[in-house]
Structure 1
Amino acid sequence: MAATRKVKLTIVESRCRSGFHTQGQEFIITEDKTICPPVCMELWHYAYPDIWALLNGAELDQGKEKSKCSVISCPDECRVKMQVEVIEC
């Protein structure tokens, strides 16, 4: 039986205007549960393509290298940064 892929979301920086996000918050997303965790919709909108790709085995372009992680910045002046990374099972 194959292991379920998991992606961990970690808020690595937060200057959120609404106070919705705090540094250190973590969320786990799995293949069978890709429902939006309690993050703001704007940040989720930016992060979801990378999350979906990682859940499906992709590696993301990071300049000249490929990686199983990425940092997504909030569209509101990059006030929140969220790391998206595959958890090896």
Structure 2
Amino acid sequence: MKQSYVYILKCSDGTYYTGVTSNLTQRIFQHDIGYYPDCYTFKRRPLELVFYCEFIDINIAFEKEKQIKKWSRVKKEALIKGDYDALPNLAKKKFS
């Protein structure tokens, strides 16, 4: 099985972008140089890689990417900080 990655980038405007790739180094480089002009990150550079995790099954990586994209900013930040105990408590709460 080929290794895959789910990653989170912090954009220059403070927003987060979540993606999935099989080549993390190459994909981050593509984001940094604006390889895809229509990509969400193109006008939000510079970017900072703030989180990534590895998977050996690309299908699970896609599922996790979709899951994280639905999360609130606060929940994403808990994941980024490694505060895994806080994740369940942030699942249904709304923060302003």
Report the TM-score, using the length of structure 1 for normalisation: 0.32
Higher helix share: 2
* Higher-RCO chain (CA-CA 8 Å, sequence separation at least 6): 1
Of structures 1 and 2, the larger Rg is shown by: 2
